[in-house]
A and B are shown apart, each in its own frame.
Chain A
Amino acid sequence: MRKFLIRRILLFVPVLLGTLTIAFSIIHLIPGDPVDIILGENALPADKDALRKALKLDLPLHRQYITFLSGLFKGDLGYSIYTKQPVIRTVMERYPATIELALASIIFSVLFSFPLGIVAAIYKDRWPDHITRFFSLTGLCMPNFFLAPILIIIFSIELGLLPVSGTGGIQNIILPSITLGFGMSSILTRMIRSSLYEVLNDDYIRGAKAKGVDNFSILLKHALPNALIPVITILAMQFGSLLAGSIITETIFSWPGIGRLVIQSIYARDYPLLQGCLIFISLSYQFINLILDLLYAFIDPRIRYEKGVL
């Protein structure tokens, strides 16, 4: 187990370095001189030089890279050009809202997909299965920018039950988390259905049935835990992508998350801020992946001992 842990954590380093390098190169990949684009054409040459210096663009490329990395390890991501605030502070202010929404969406999709997936697996190819299939397909096909206004019109405008947008209490998070969670739960429902159906036809389930174990216990104790591995993978991947923020959902619901910050920094051509957002997003994604791999090893002991699983 320890060997597995060390290998997994060591692998984290090159991936991390790769993402940081990509984040670093953004400012060099944009067309035109970034300083000109940021300051506009009536900027004074002295101000352009000052910004070039502040962004360390006057140094040779390798020195820029080293300064960037060393700044990063000190927790210094520079200053936003647009708001003149430290990037790290701006990102940290928005990130809790994104985590909050991601967790709520995951909880919604789990609560929605587990019962549906289990029912669909038990009644495969009968009418409950067809109904869940209809829900899944609807969820998969419906884009957020379409679903969100419909939810708002029904629940906020017509029924007057929930607020249209903004943050505040539980009532504010319901509609955005349904919007984000609905599509995810469709995938999960299908995943649970197929994985559970496969397990339910295994020999050991037949054995349990022969032993006289009641159906409920077979489902919850024997079948479901074994059907969970692919489900957890999907869940974790979706959680990772939720942590990158959802630009559309956050915009529609005026949710102050990282997705909106990314879009704002692109529109404002605020490259240090964009860089900071990307670093944060990729770090959290990788962190989730790391946790997931460790969780696999915990759930399924075979993974720890097999060679080449990484």
Chain B
Amino acid sequence: MKIPMILLPILLCLIFTPSCSQPSIPDGYVIVALESNPSSLDPRIATDASSQKIIRLIFNGLVKLDENMRPAPDLAIRWEKINDLAFLFHLRKGVKFHNGKELTSEDVKFTFKSILNPSLSSPHRGSYQYIKSIEERGRYAVIFRLKKPYSPFLTTMTMPIIPADYNDKENPPPGTGPFKFVRWIQDEWIELKANDGFFDGEVRIKGVIFRIIPDDTSRFLELQKGNIHLILNAIEPEVLPLVNKRSRLFNIMTRPGTNYSYLGFNLHDPILRDRRVREAIARGIDRDTIIKEILKGFAYPAKGILPPMHWAHEGDVEVYTYNPVRARKLLDEAGFFDPDGPGPKKRFRLLYKTSQNKLRRRIAEVIQAQLAQIGIDVEIRSYEWGTFYSDIKSGNFQIYSLTWVGVTDPDIYYYIFHSSSTPPNGANRGGYRNPEVDSLLERGRVEGDEKRRKEIYSKIQKIIVKDLPYISLYHSVNIAVVKKGLVGFILYPDESLISLRYASFNRE
């Protein structure tokens, strides 16, 4: 027994020697809670939400999207459309990367070339296939030549630019943004420091620390303890009343978001092929109840994929208000009679597929109960993501529910509803086919004028709502909880944290 007794203190010291210490948080740093560890801080590789939040603080693209999703100057101070197949970008002069090197056309070319290079296996590669060539015009101008006319081109130019000499396997590339990367302790925290030489004005806080706290309860308790200054959307609607109780410590900010949740139909299905059945289902679902009871009011009814603040959004479309009487009548008209009226027998049975997400399952249950009222028997099947996704892709479903996130260009309608976009070519999973929509989508893709594009997409949105291949459920609402004393933070619809550059601490 003697040896272990001697070893014990040594063992204890070994165990409790901190393997890595938490950052001692200096004054002027904002601490933001994140739900998950980012996959990568290389913008060419990352796709997940956590990475995107940080990447947008470190990097800039040639253009950025304003609040209406219109391209606005960022690293490119202006651009010219030479013709349908060529765009000339004039770069801002004197912009420095965080490593001190000046931004030039070479960096722009390198960024896109490396994304297109199969050896990087960038998940963004597919989005830049229309680029034929990239030419440098001197130090501060670049020409992009396209294989064919493609109007969403400018929207895709938000890809962050990295320096051409980047060749570091250990650290993420330096950017040009308001904050520079300092260090990243995997699964724990990421430190960014204010960039004093930022080209677009002064950054008032000293830096940002992202703490990765995956558990909802712990995140809330950390917030309650005052260890966190800002949580964006990473808080469950149910606990907000508790945060509200301590409102002298926090401000809660909300703002309509862009994520779009919907129900998708399989139009090859003998029952769902009938538009009247789809309308009956749309009229049998009470979206307001879902939003109020399950989402606690943190969502708003959607009219289509594009959110109301989007430049191409069409608000004047048919709205299928909750009307069970009308729904029953429509089903009768379609020949699906209720065998025993209010009795237990139903008109027909539908299979509703969803993922294992808790919220989605609860929404499915409410829809199940609501559709039972109009005589439709809904069976819910919730699957692990891999199975669910492969079923959806192969058309093995009757109804499913999902969400589109990060919608920026109305060309997404081509990807979802063009008859040639059936998987694997696109996301027309329900087999929607309308020659008029096809030709409008093809026109929208090549039309350069924004006003004419808006007209085209207005028509498309109206037809889609009428044809009902999707039932629009709701758009998300962004929620930020901000510790009192942190001022100047603005909540944007697209979950961006970029306004942290205007934020500062208010000393009382």
Q: Which residues of A contact B (CB under 8 A)?
A: 30-33, 36-37, 39-44, 46-47, 50-51, 54, 82-84, 90, 93-94, 96-97, 100, 103-104, 107, 149, 152-153, 156-157, 163-170, 172-173, 251-254, 256, 260-261, 264, 267-269
Closest to A165 in B: B218
* B19 interface residue per 8 A CB criterion: yes
Docked complex: B178-221 residues within 8 A CB-CB of A? 185-189, 211-215, 217-218, 221
Verify A251–B19 contact, CB threshold 8 A. no
What are 14 A-B pairs with beta-carbon distances under 8 A? Answer: A84-B40, A94-B186, A94-B187, A149-B217, A152-B221, A156-B225, A164-B227, A165-B215, A166-B213, A169-B18, A252-B217, A253-B218, A254-B212, A269-B386
Report the stretch among B69-77, B121-129, B272-280 that lies at the interface: B121-129
Docked complex: B205-254 residues within 8 A CB-CB of A? 211-215, 217-218, 221-222, 224-225, 227
Closest to B383 in A: A31
Verify B186–A256 contact, CB threshold 8 A. yes
Q: Which of B45, B125, B126 is A84 in contact with, Cβ under 8 Å?
A: B45
Determine how close the nearest CB of chain A comes to the CB of B119; give it in whole angstroms: 9
Verify B118–A36 contact, CB threshold 8 A. no
Closest to A255 in B: B187
Determine how close the nearest CB of chain A comes to the CB of B43; give it in whole angstroms: 13
Given A30-B386, A83-B39, A156-B225, decide whether A51 and B121 contact each other with a Cβ distance below 8 A: yes
Q: Which residues of B contact A (CB under 8 A)?
A: 11-12, 15-16, 18-22, 36-37, 39-40, 45, 118, 121, 123, 125-126, 129, 185-189, 211-215, 217-218, 221-222, 224-225, 227, 385-387, 389-390, 393, 415, 423-424, 426-427
Verify A256–B188 contact, CB threshold 8 A. yes
Verify B126–A47 contact, CB threshold 8 A. yes
Verify B218–A254 contact, CB threshold 8 A. yes
Verify B214–A251 contact, CB threshold 8 A. yes
- A residues less than 8 Å from B188 (CB atoms): 166-167, 254, 256
Verify B125–A47 contact, CB threshold 8 A. yes
Question: Top 10 closest A-B pairs, CB basis?
Answer: A32-B390, A256-B187, A168-B22, A170-B16, A252-B215, A165-B218, A254-B213, A37-B386, A82-B39, A164-B222
Given A107-B12, A260-B187, A268-B39, decide whether A36 and B393 contact each other with a Cβ distance below 8 A: yes
Closest to B424 in A: A41
Verify A254–B215 contact, CB threshold 8 A. yes
Verify B386–A167 contact, CB threshold 8 A. no
Give Cα A84–Cα B390 distance, bound, in whole angstroms. Answer: 24
Give Cα A84–Cα B39 distance, bound, in whole angstroms. Answer: 9
Verify A50–B118 contact, CB threshold 8 A. yes
Verify A44–B129 contact, CB threshold 8 A. yes
Verify B390–A264 contact, CB threshold 8 A. no
- B residues less than 8 Å from A167 (CB atoms): 18-20, 22, 188
Q: Which of B15, B215, B386, B415 is A251 in contact with, Cβ under 8 Å?
A: B215
Determine how close the nearest CB of chain A comes to the CB of B87; give it in whole angstroms: 23
Determine how close the nearest CB of chain A comes to the CB of B415; give it in whole angstroms: 8
Closest to A49 in B: B118
Verify B213–A165 contact, CB threshold 8 A. yes
Give Cα A149–Cα B213 distance, bound, in whole angstroms. Answer: 14
- B residues less than 8 Å from A165 (CB atoms): 213, 215, 218, 221-222
